[in-house]
Amino acid sequence: MSNKMVDVGAEQGKLKELLSLVAAGNEIVLTERGTPVARLVPMTPRVAGLHDGAATTSDDFDSPLPDGFWTEQA
């Protein structure tokens, strides 16, 4: 992946061209008067179930909270 710095003032109206570069795998850093303000990066597809089992909940997750939960200090 290559990087390219682009001044937003100079590149207004060239969004389609920039998106084509990003779609090809490039990273674009948008600058304003030489100061980086944003990055355009390719999106990676999300895969359902990729991290299956990475998060769990306890069996009593939706059970009522004990009396005094919000008022007593731990």
Q: Could you tell me the domains of the chain?
A: 3-40 (3.40.1620.10)
Given a contact cutoff of 8 angstroms between Cβ atoms, the answer to whether 31 and 56 are in contact is no
pLDDT at residue 11, as a whole number: 61
Provide the residue type at 60 as one letter. Answer: D
* pLDDT averaged over every residue in the chain: 82
Q: What is the pLDDT of residue 9?
A: 65
Mean pLDDT in residue range 63-68: 87
Cβ(22)–Cβ(28) below 8 Å: yes
pLDDT in tens, 2-44: 667 666 666 667 888 888 889 899 998 988 888 998 898 998 8
What pLDDT, in 10s, does the model give residues 38-62?
A: 898 998 888 888 888 888 889 999 9
- Report the SS3 class of residue 31: strand
